Amino acid sequence: MAATVATSLVTDNGTPSLTPDPAPAVGETDAATISPAAEPPAVAITPCDPWPRPYYIEHGLRRVVPYHYTYNTWCKERWRGRKLMEIFEVEFRDRPAEYYRTAVETGLVVVNGKAVGPDYVLKNGDLISHTTHRHEPPSTAEPIGVIHEDNDLIVINKPSGVPVHPAGRYNYNSVVEIIKSERGPDFLPRPCNRLDRLTSGIMFLAKNQRAAERLVAQISQRSVRKEYIARVVGRFPDGEVVCDQPILQISPKLTLNRVRANGKAARTVFKRLAYYPPLGPPAKGQTEQSAMPDAEQTAQRRGEGEGYSIVRCLPVTGRTHQIRVHLQFLGHPIENDPIYANQKVWGFDLGRNDADAARNSDEDIISRLSRMGKEDVADAVAYYDEMVDTYHKKKAEKMSGQLCDVCQTPLYTDPGEQELSLWLHSLRYEDADGAWSYKSPLPGWALPPSGMTGPTQVGGMEDLVSAVEASST
């Protein structure tokens, strides 16, 4: 159980920082005009849920003003009879023990709404509350598109870089909370399918519990077909390609998966929609700035002369990261995949045909990936040259070396463009019996690049479905 809380949010001149929703879209805002939430009271169970949500838009990013938030948790059975400070030292290790001791002594951590000492012994029924100054990462400011809406359902086109649910460092910067902020505090969207934070495309939000249960049941019974579109390294093979390699989760903490013989059964059907050869090298004497105008142009230079393909993907099973893992195994990873197209994690071959982990052990992969993202920078795409590597090291999210003035939390820099987008898009959902079908437009990265011709639409799923049926016989 968790309750969202915050003190009031004001600008430097003392006026409210945002206008209540429903309201016009949040505009470009100077971050200097918005102050972080003030210090909470001595015993901090702040009673309000900030409304309107403390969003502002800056440099193409949706940002959230830092705010105080109270986490609540009931005493677990294994905590009974143990000192409060011991629990924080052993089980809550995201901050130093000194922080938690100070939080207990100053009332930021309370039990049953009352301040207690660090030696307080927990018992059954105790409610532990921890109020912290919460810093959310920014997300893309791209709006959530509505493809269809009726009395029971909203079908949306989710932008990449936005998580569906509040989780981890994200709370208000999530699809559920953004939709709620647009439609009012009493609106409760119920997601019926799941997309990873970096994946864009078709999502279903039910308006009531009955509609949610009906659609979730239909999806779980596999009477719904799903099609994704991906942009991958190199020229993908002709025809329908069926990958039925099993997938194993080798690190639940990192949500890291790979093809392994002892994994769970998985099957994906792929078909190339288009292939685009690489662009020529930049003109002689071109500066780094002019050679790096955006992520799309830089990515086109990373395939070692291979170019890239737009590939249709039909997942028959639903394993975590299934499409990304199968494309990696086939030797055509998603071009800007921060995990599965990362040579610094997987080595030169990027896990291709390495089902027995002969080239890279699970332990090596986990160790390399776990180092990325704080002091190291998670490279978003394989095949960097020095100029691209330098450019993205400047742009990726990492520890800034600065501390928050209110809570002394170490602050991150803004995420780079490669950390807000994955070239994998949920293109279509349709009922297998033809009762309904929803399709989004192709994302910009799947359209023909400037100066080239190629498909701008995708046809029906007949060939993909036929390949599934043929592979099952």
Q: Which are the catalytic amino acids? A: 196
Distance separating alpha carbons of residues 372 and 379, to the nearest angstrom = 8
Q: Is 360 exposed, middle or buried (0-12, 13-18, 19+ CB in 10 A)?
A: middle
Q: Which of 94, 93, 119, 95 is nearest to 105 (CA)?
A: 119
Tokens coding 198 = 């970096």
Distance separating alpha carbons of residues 328 and 352, to the nearest angstrom = 6
CB 330 within 8 A of CB 352: yes
Beta-sheet pairing, 153-158 with 200-206 = antiparallel
CB 303 within 8 A of CB 383: yes
CB 229 within 8 A of CB 443: yes
CB 325 within 8 A of CB 267: no
* Dihedral (CA of 232, 437, 179, 132) sign: negative
Distance separating alpha carbons of residues 33 and 313, to the nearest angstrom = 46
CB 402 within 8 A of CB 411: yes
Distance separating alpha carbons of residues 26 and 151, to the nearest angstrom = 27
- Residue 168, sorted as left (phi over 0), alpha (psi -120 to 50) or beta, turns out to be left
CB 142 within 8 A of CB 118: no
Q: Which of 429, 425, 419 is nearest to 204 (CA)?
A: 429
